[in-house]
Amino acid sequence: MGIVAGLDSSPEFTRIVVCDADTGAVLRQGYAPHPVEGRPSDVDPQAWLLSLGEAAGGGLLEGVQAIGVSAQQNAVVPLDAQGNTVRPALVGGDKRTQVAAADLIDALGGREAWAQAVGCVPQAPQPVTKLRWLVKNEPDAALRTAVLLQAHDWLVWQLLGRPVRRTTDRGGASGTGYWSAATGAYRTDLVELALGHQAMLPEVIGPADAAGTTPEGLLISAGTGETMAAAFGLGIGLGDAVVSLGASGSVMAVHPEALVDNSGMITSLADATGMHLPVVTTLNAVRTLRGAAELLGLPDLESLSELAMKSTPGAHGLVLLPYLEGERTPHLPHTAGTLAGLRRESMRPEHLARAAFEGMLCGLADALDVLRGRGVEVRRVFLLGAAAELSAVQAAAPAIFGAQVVVPQPADYAAIGAARQAAWALGVSQGTLDPRTPPAWQGAAAQILEPGEELAVGQAVRQQFVSVREQTHPNAFRP
């Protein structure tokens, strides 16, 4: 079919990959940081266009027939009736909107009401919450807001020359807090609840649909959020889960239907293929390791990993409940971490190091079990993030998760997923691909880890963790 491009506009940079449309082989790459300092909560979206132009320099896109756009989630771009930005885009995990999230939860009648309405409970980063913050803090800007776009919607619209028609995809829409993955429809009443009035919303188009074609004949696919694009770039399918090890952690899996979870632990997102992507988040992942390294006076996580490997599974009975920042899974927002099992023989640095790794992984296994408990099949776990390379993580994860663990080689999976979407839309437009079946690209190069004979040991470690959790926080996971 030729060549296609995928661009990923993350919170800090734009990355572009140019791929063979048939195989997915990466042919060329471009990169440019956004021209902003740090990670501010308000960003002029023109900064995204400037870094896009720089990343695409030097003829990078020569011969490209279609482009897909992935972009940071949770950014909301408020436009006036003429299509001009009312104020800078509200981006990121903005802590100033936490009060607005609580207001919205109460306004609709609680967490269960939100879970039933749109498959998620408002969190500080979500667009719906940012709209409520805008009303309370910048009422004039809220009144002038006539159109709501997310980052990838806005970029696609700009690439197409700002046409009258504005589009988005299921994946991006499912993260707004005012579109339901279960019904496939907007809840405009929730926009009004948050913003105080109605606003125009982009048309949700199908995974293989094109948003349009530029005057030069370049096809632009639907675009999607970074999470959905990365899942598509990795090539995950039914039976696969992805565990992301950031400061906080997330667990997501492909599922054929939307999950409504009245507890609010599951966020019911849509993916970039027509399936669903239920996500469970933990507040404490790598921050648990960093805290342990600082406590032990170690310079980095590699040193902590080496120390942990000198201990044995179970850390001589030492158990760390890693709820250092409170926790979302289970819902314990005001709790603290717990170190249990202290005996004279367990009070050694290597055992504490091991307990930190096991506590982090058991917390993520709890999140995996939330999905398993709702019928989500998990045969393989893709482990993402720099910490996935640590020997202590790789030694313990397969047995604690009770599944094969796949550690993909570092790559620009969100950009690759955007390119794969472009290839799909191009193939459908040319009549060479089925709109129900994405192009079969080569999977990510990866290291495969099996639980093997360690499975029973890992499950014993897990049971030790669960026993301490139940003693400390009885019924934290209510049915």
List helix spans (H) across 342-454.
Answer: 349-372, 391-401, 413-430
**Is pLDDT at 260 greater than 90 in this prediction?**
no
Q: Per-residue pLDDT averaged across 247-252, rounded?
A: 95
Q: Over the stretch 308-332, which tens digit does the pLDDT of each residue have? A: 999 999 999 999 999 999 999 998 9
**Is pLDDT at 38 greater than 80 in this prediction?**
no
**Structure confidence at residue 400 as a pLDDT band (50, 70, 90):** very high
**Is pLDDT at 92 greater than 80 in this prediction?**
no
Name 162's Cβ contacts closer than 8 Å, sequence gap at least 6: 83
* Nearest in space to 458 (alpha carbons), one of 405, 412, 415: 405
Q: Are 194 and 132 in contact (CB under 8 A)?
A: yes
**Structure confidence at residue 479 as a pLDDT band (50, 70, 90):** low
Q: Over the stretch 278-288, which tens digit does the pLDDT of each residue have? A: 999 999 999 99
- Which residues, in sequence order, are bridge partners of residue 474? none
**Is pLDDT at 9 greater than 90 in this prediction?**
yes
**Is pLDDT at 94 greater than 90 in this prediction?**
no
3-state secondary structure of 26: strand
**93-102, 163-172, 339-348, 451-460: least confident range:** 93-102
pLDDT recorded at residue 374: 94
- Treating both helix axes as pointing N-terminal to C-terminal, what angle do 111-118 and 98-108 enclose, rounded to 10 degrees? 80
Sign of CA dihedral 471, 123, 278, 389: negative
Structure tokens at 453: 């004979």
Q: What angle do CA 286, 288, 293 make, to 5 degrees?
A: 95
Q: Are 220 and 359 in contact (CB under 8 A)?
A: no
Using CA atoms, how far apart are residues 270 and 161, in angstroms rounded to an integer?
27
**Is pLDDT at 356 greater than 80 in this prediction?**
yes
**Is pLDDT at 95 greater than 90 in this prediction?**
no
pLDDT recorded at residue 1: 65
375: DSSP letter: T
The neighbour count for residue 293, using CB atoms within 10 Å, is: 20
Q: Per-residue pLDDT averaged across 380-394, rounded?
A: 97
pLDDT recorded at residue 478: 76
Q: Over the stretch 174-229, which tens digit does the pLDDT of each residue have? A: 999 999 999 999 999 999 999 999 999 999 999 999 999 998 999 999 999 999 99
